[in-house]
Amino acid sequence: MTMLSKPERLKSILQNLRMSLPELRGAMVATTDGLPIAQAFSDNTDANRVAAMAATALGLGKRINDTLGTGSLNEMSVSGMDGQVFIYSVGAKGVLAVVAPSGTNLGLLHMEARDAAQAVASVL
């Protein structure tokens, strides 16, 4: 039996997420300081830029929650005309970013992405 490396296990989690929700435009795991670890995008998205922005958004979300006394940040979203980006806190070290088109079943997306975030946390 071959043991997969951390990056391979993370890539597998992202691929499973994409298989569960084939309409996703992409998903990635990054460190909280903005470095990409694993990604699964359907186009040539710049993983370095997305990792940096996702980590920055997560940090800002955490500060907002701290300031407003709403507890620790679990997840957040950014919505646009053509889709949404969902950012999930993954333990103390990571962030999961999921890019979905408009019209995605958000209940299913959150259920699958939250499971993926827990799986990522167990790897990190």
Above 70 in pLDDT, residue 1?
no
Predicted TM-score (pTM) of the model is 0.89
Architecture of the 6-122 domain? 2-Layer Sandwich (3.30)
Secondary structure (3-state) at 102:
coil
d(CA 117, CA 120): 5
Domain boundaries, the chain: 6-122
Residue 26 neighbours by CB under 8 Å, 6+ apart: 18, 39, 40, 41, 42, 43, 45, 50, 98, 99
Tens of pLDDT along 58-79? Answer: 999 999 999 999 988 889 999 9
Tens of pLDDT along 76-106? Answer: 999 999 999 999 999 888 999 999 999 899 9
